[in-house]
Chain A
Amino acid sequence: MLEGFDKAFENRVRLGMMSILMVNEWVEFIELKELLQVTDGNLASHITYLEKAEYIETRKSFIGKKPNTTFRASKTGKDAFKQHLKALEKLIKK
């Protein structure tokens, strides 16, 4: 395994999700789905992965009767992502 690489970000969907959450606060499920062009089930499983790693925070609320779930990157998640980026950059410079 390469030095500094985070297993959580090996997957493109999770990497993409974190990229979006680095520059946006509280993003809705549907927005993520649209930007990443993945299915509901696929996205949900990656969300669960990142939640377990405590890289993202989830907020559930209701708009009228419709459930609305939004996500943001946690401090841990942001730090991990930056670390991962650094490792990628190092790899390029080699």
Chain B
Amino acid sequence: MKKEDNNPVETLNDIKNLMERSSKFISLSGFSGILIGILTIICVSWFCSAYDIDPLNMDYDDLPDQHFSVALFAAMGLMFASIAIATFMTVRRANQMKVSIWGLASKRLFINMFTPLSIGILFCLVLFFSHIDLVVPLSLMFYGMSLFNAGNYTQQGIRSLGVVEMFLGVLCLVFMEYHILIWTIGFGLMHVIYGAYMYFKFEKY
């Protein structure tokens, strides 16, 4: 920061810059989004081919119980792997950008993203044992809401991703037989698209 500078335009820019830097965490890694999306698509394809499930015509009543427990474990594994990938690559990017990984802005983002998200995960876990056909639409719904909320504390674009996820959640309520396909679009394809958008816009220097 320069000591003496009386240019009011620059001063105002500095103020804006500091306000943003102290309240928004912009080091989220877009590349990790691409990886997570691809991982999700691979996981679902493996699941569908291993258990002979048609993603375009799925019927919950036809599936044996054993498939559900595999799906549950696969989904949990996928979730932890995704969180690990996103965290690792975001920490790396923050270090590159010389931004504190556990500063004001990242704490805010974390709280605002993970409070609704962790309640959502708990909600879906309980539903898994009582109303399994609601798990897919509600997981998209909760994830979308968490992203929408997180958008205030990071790149604004995350909000649009959140809206798409919520919309896909609503679609799921109408098209029961496409649940696997829509879920894969939401957690796979959309991550790849948004991750690539972020990567090419902010990360490719």
B19→A20 contact, CB < 8 A: yes
Q: Once the chains bind, are A92 and B23 in contact (CB under 8 Å)?
A: no
Q: Contact between B1 and A37 (Cβ–Cβ < 8 Å)?
A: yes
**A80 sits at the interface (CB 8 A):** no
The reply to whether B18 and A16 form a contact with Cβ atoms under 8 Å apart is: yes
B8 and A35 form a contact (CB under 8 A): no
Residue of A nearest to B22 (CB): A20
Per DSSP, are chain A's interface residues mostly helix, strand or loop, or mixed? helix
Within 8 A of A (CB), among B13-45: 14-15, 18-19, 21-23
Pair B19/A92 contact, Cβ less than 8 Å = no
Bound complex: CA A36 to CA B15 (Å) = 11
Chain A neighbourhood of B5, CB < 8 A: 12
B104 in contact with A27 (CB, 8 Å): yes
- Which of chain A's residues 34-55 have a Cβ closer than 8 Å to chain B? 34-38
Q: For the complex, what is the distance from the CA of A20 to the CA of B22, rounded to whole Å?
A: 6
* Interface pair A35/B18, CB less than 8 Å apart: yes
Q: Tell me if B12 and A24 are in contact (CB < 8 A).
A: no
By a CB distance below 8 angstroms, the chain A residues around B201 are none
Q: Which B residues form the contact surface with A (CB < 8 A)?
A: 1-3, 5, 8-9, 11-12, 14-15, 18-19, 21-23, 100, 103-104
A interface residues with partner B (beta carbon < 8 Å): 12-13, 15-16, 19-20, 22-24, 27, 31, 34-38, 85, 88-89, 91-92
